[in-house]
Amino acid sequence: AIENGDPVTVDLSAYLDNTDVQDLTSASIDASNILTIAIENGAAVTVDLSSYLDNTDAQTIALNNTTNILTLGNGTAADTTVDLSGYVSTDDQNLTSATIDGSNILTIAIENGDPVTVDLSAYLDNTDVQDLTITGNILSLTGDATSVTLPTADGTETVVTAGADISVTGDGSAATPYVIANTRPDIFYPPSIAVDVSTTGTARTIDLHAEYLAQYGSPSVVSAGAPAAIPTYANNELYYYVTYFDPTVFANVSVDNVGVMTYDVIASPTDYNTLINVVFVAQ
């Protein structure tokens, strides 16, 4: 098991010639990274592994028991391989298993012999702490020159489709965000109000928006479960229209952009009844 790398298993059976019965007496790795394997009735074999450890990143180690190739993964560098074919002994014995546990202990089990364990923990550098960071849209790994530039959202990732009475403008980018608008405006009549036309006069005014707020804000009767007040628009959120007025009673009728209507009363209605029709349109 290698820090920051995948655990590996090593099958050493290919290195035994299987011509006799003998025990593997010991296997060890010293501080100079020299692997020594001692075989009963056979010559000890040593392998110098120090050149295959770069101690700079997360490493992996693997052995192909068919080709006798030992592979050391060097993280960002190219893998290093070692051909161990020349270290095969000339005796008769079977290697039944070789495993490395979570404590970095290599256990080699030999047919007709006692298992041998080797503590590999001293050969791990334990100094490689890597951090994954992102700056803007750049993803980087500490200790690795490689970085990944992530795509920048430009609105093309999302499709916004206009529908009936709805329009969509913009492309969703920061420079041109989506704007969704109602193409059928909110049109409504303001509440009815009394206009004094009992006498004539000029430049009279009525704040249509203020009258609208007063009646919508405090309805005389509310149905069960309804909010106490009706939602309203601010005076600069509406367009104001006078669609009709009685020309025998009113003259010089106008309305400004905040809903104040100005008018003259030129005569009293003969039947005490007259009309001014006003429409509000949400902007």
167 and 235 in a common domain: no
Which percentage of the chain shows pLDDT scores above 70?
63
203 and 178 in a common domain: no
In the chain, the number of structural domains is 3
Distance CA 143, CA 129 (A): 9
Range of the domain at 46: 13-123
Whether residue 3 is contained in a domain is answered as no
Whether residue 116 is contained in a domain is answered as yes
198 and 179 in a common domain: no
248 and 157 in a common domain: no
Distance CA 39, CA 25 (A): 5
Which pLDDT band holds residue 1 (cuts at 50, 70, 90)? very low
Domain's final residue, options 123, 140, 173: 123
215 and 115 in a common domain: no
Whether residue 7 is contained in a domain is answered as no
The string of pLDDT tens digits covering residues 110-160 is: 666 678 787 877 766 556 566 777 776 677 777 666 677 776 666 666 778
Q: Is 148 buried (19+), middle (13-18) or exposed (0-12) by CB count in 10 A?
A: exposed
- Could you give the angle at the alpha carbon of 225 between the alpha carbons of 224 and 226, nearest 5°? 95
